Structure 1
Amino acid sequence: MDFGQWFVPFGEVAPLILKGFWITIEVTIVGLFFGFILGAIAGLARLSRNKIIYSIATVYVEVVRGTPILLQIFFVYFGLAALLNITFGALTAAFIALAFNSGAYIAEIVRGAVFSIEKGQMEAGRSIGLTHTQAMRYVIWPQAIKRMIPPLGNQFIISLKDSSLFSVIALGEIVYKGQQYIATTYNYGQTYITIAVAYLIITIPLSLILRQIERRLDVS
């Protein structure tokens, strides 16, 4: 075997993977940003005593968590166009699908974090004259956010890996760029190794950073 030739495909596919790398990061960050907003609203709605608000949030969470993200991608990209004549580009569809998908899981993270705070904390806040909203803002939320950090970090990693599924709608992320190279060279082995390394370059440092944050905040 000519080992020199064996390494050639790595150098050829790496620039393509790098282009997809930045799109993957963009989709993950933007999707999770809106996913967190949606998840925070849905999570608090899941704590509401209003049955209508609670029911709407619960339906959203259960439907999204109960269906594959691949189906959700197809629905946003193809289904909305067929049903409502609403069309999105691949990048916009990726933002929407990832936001709605991650939002459902973040909603449960938010709900669980807030629910885990002892009831006495709210009562203590109310006893010093705070309204319910003020007590949530100044007493409950700071503690809840601290407890959200580990699962939110895990959700970021999960969503980042899920972004590979956007290759099915021809979004130029890491996997799609690799598939383009394979289509012209039929070089599977080195291409998939390069793709795996690209994901590891993101996820391993992120995992280490999250551990450091957890230690500094003493998240148990």
Structure 2
Amino acid sequence: MFTGIVEETGEIHSIKGEEISIICNKILEDCKIGDSISVSGVCLTITKIGSNYLNFQISEETRDKTTLGSLVNNSLVNLERAATYQSRIGGHNVEGHVESTGICRSIKKIKDSTIVTFEADAIILSNIIVKGYICIDGTSLTVNEIKKNTFKISLIPHTIAETTFKNIKIGQLVNLETDVNARYIRKYVEEIMEKNLSE
């Protein structure tokens, strides 16, 4: 489990088949082989630890269903170590199980904030609410507005500086994961309604 508070951005050093090597610094502390790391919102397991890098294996399904399949050398990724019982939950509970990808449709600077609009599929949109959480590329963010097939979020300068959002571009794909608590509640309510209708 993660919190969606990015600890640092790492740089893709190499991609060889299913193995990916990421240059990093801060998250090397206290890491061991087998630990889980959120890599731009995808939960991956450490397979090798070097002096300034971590290695992971990426399955074919992960490459196909997330943005990790389009990474190239020197790409930046958001990194976060798994939360502990002593961790502060500054964001929200994030599983690292990407549901689908979204597309950046617009970027607008308004005073000190940057408003970004993403297009998403119907399942994602049905699981988010205004002022609710969504995880985008491993970053816990608040939904500001929902319209038809899009939603908007607001980025402050600190978030932009500390994450891969510094390089966000229109047309770019991002990894999306909605609030797991919202999904459980929706499933429970739907089951109750279905049961009542069948009685």
Scaled by the length of structure 2, the TM-score of the pair is 0.25
| Higher Cα Rg, which structure | 1
Normalized per residue, the structure richer in helix is 1
Higher relative contact order (CA 8 A, sep 6+): 1
